[in-house]
């Protein structure tokens, strides 16, 4: 099933003075939310210790989350929304103290919107290992210093285990819907496979059944970009002065990632060979507009994210394989009992539609005759975030 993107414009190619001005001054050593910072809209829940899939444990886990709407007296209207690699719990609402960015899905979640907060109680947690309030490398360990590079290796299944513990403490027995895109889609699949009786409906957006060798390779160079920054200091940089953290390595990793999040067609149409400033057409001085775009977003990223968390979460993404220990991918998918919507983006070069086709093919209760909905969009992988009208119409169809 295909859906034509309603987008008929391409965003501006150039970074404005106002945007550039927002990055003046040295970046912080870490962009993590830290205890003592303004809370914003976050809520916090300590879910206790967590034993990890690969061995070891975390003695205490805190999950930061946000909610919208009201839980019904019978508890049957809760929807769990799971964010992507560099997202957080702030689904909707403005930026402000404690919230460095505006809500990342404000056109999908809210009153009268596809995930209707007049009807549903929506919960969005920051994933374990993240840096916006949940326990992660920037959190303080039992010895009174940040975990840093001592933070243990965690998997997608560990992150879902923490979400399950949060769900139990919130008193939610069964989710009316679990919705996730990209890395959040990996979590959503795990939810429906691990505890199928607690998921009524499922939406998997732009996510694969396994992380492939190609994707692991792309991730590995991003991790190395962070680790080889001289200011990474083995992951112990939290006491550094502003500007003295591994911001160059983290920004470079983000620039690499952006090339996978967007499509060649969009970058070529949006930027062509335009200059950001007047220079020789041979390009021996100054900058191409596409270079300025990547630099801007890389530098902006360092102000809201943590280098150690980036490594932790990318390595968790590499662990993703729903068939591991379950008799393979097909058997794992066949165990899902939730009514399931699978959405892919035709221009996605990070998680191509072949992955979504495998998921849809082996579902017992897929919505579209064992085929994914393929959205036609120029925006590549990020289409699941940008194409709110098209994506929203599909989620509304699932939750009707």
Query: What are the residues whose beta carbons fall under 8 Å from the beta carbon of 24, sequence distance 6 or more?
Result: none
For residues 209 and 358, is the Cβ–Cβ distance under 8 A? Answer: yes
Q: Is the dihedral of CA 84, 86, 89, 93 positive or negative?
A: negative
DSSP state of 244: -
Please list, residue by residue across 206-234, b when 16 or more beta carbons sit within 10 angstroms of its beta carbon and e when fewer do.
bbbbbbbeebeebbeebbebbbebebbbe
> CA 55 to CA 303: how far, in whole Å?
33
Token pair for residue 328?
A: 């393979």
> CA 165 to CA 135: how far, in whole Å?
14
Strands 121-125 and 78-82: parallel
> CA 385 to CA 400: how far, in whole Å?
21
> CA 246 to CA 234: how far, in whole Å?
10
Token pair for residue 168?
A: 């139990």
> CA 158 to CA 171: how far, in whole Å?
20
Q: How many CA atoms lie within 13 A of 256 on its CB side?
A: 18
> CA 235 to CA 288: how far, in whole Å?
33
Question: Residue 111's closest CA among 103, 101, 123, 119?
Answer: 119
Token pair for residue 10?
A: 């391409």
Residue numbers annotated as active site:
182, 348, 381
> CA 340 to CA 364: how far, in whole Å?
9
């Amino acid at each position: 099933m295909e859906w034509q993107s309603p987008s008929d414009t391409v965003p501006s190619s150039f970074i404005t003075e106002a945007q550039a001005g927002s990055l003046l001054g040295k970046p912080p050593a870490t962009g993590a939310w830290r205890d003592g910072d303004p809370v914003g809209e976050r809520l916090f829940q300590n879910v206790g210790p967590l034993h990890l899939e690969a061995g070891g444990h975390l003695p205490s886990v805190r999950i930061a989350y946000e909610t919208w709407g009201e839980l019904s007296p019978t508890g049957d209207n809760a929807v769990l929304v799971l964010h992507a690699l560099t997202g957080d719990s702030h689904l909707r609402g403005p930026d402000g103290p404690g919230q460095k960015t505006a809500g990342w899905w404000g056109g999908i979640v809210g009153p009268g919107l596809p995930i209707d907060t007049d009807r549903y109680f929506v919960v969005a947690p920051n994933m374990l290992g993240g840096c916006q309030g949940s326990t992660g490398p920037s959190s303080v360990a039992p010895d009174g210093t940040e975990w840093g590079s001592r933070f243990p290796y965690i998997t997608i299944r560990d992150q879902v285990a923490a979400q399950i513990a949060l769900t139990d403490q919130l008193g939610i027995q069964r989710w009316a819907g679990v919705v996730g895109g990209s890395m959040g889609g990996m979590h959503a699949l795990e939810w429906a496979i691990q505890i199928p009786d607690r998921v009524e409906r499922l939406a998997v957006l732009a996510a694969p059944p396994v992380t492939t060798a190609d994707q692991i390779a792309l991730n590995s160079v991003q991790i190395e970009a962070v680790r080889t920054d001289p200011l990474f200091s083995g992951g112990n940089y939290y006491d550094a002065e502003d500007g003295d953290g591994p911001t160059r390595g983290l920004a470079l990793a983000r620039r690499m990632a952006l090339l996978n999040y967007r499509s060649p067609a969009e970058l070529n149409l949006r930027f062509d060979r335009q200059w950001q400033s007047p220079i020789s057409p041979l390009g021996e001085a100054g900058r191409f507009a596409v270079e300025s775009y990547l630099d801007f977003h890389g530098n902006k990223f360092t102000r809201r994210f943590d280098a150690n968390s980036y490594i932790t979460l990318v390595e968790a993404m590499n662990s993703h394989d729903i068939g591991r220990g379950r008799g393979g991918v097909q058997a794992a998918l066949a165990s899902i009992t939730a009514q399931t919507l699978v959405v892919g983006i035709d221009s996605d070069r990070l998680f191509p539609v072949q992955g979504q086709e495998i998921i849809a093919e082996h579902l017992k209760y897929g919505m579209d005759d064992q085929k994914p909905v393929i959205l036609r969009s120029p925006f590549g992988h990020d289409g699941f975030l940008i194409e709110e009208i098209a994506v929203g119409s599909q989620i509304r169809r699932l939750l009707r």
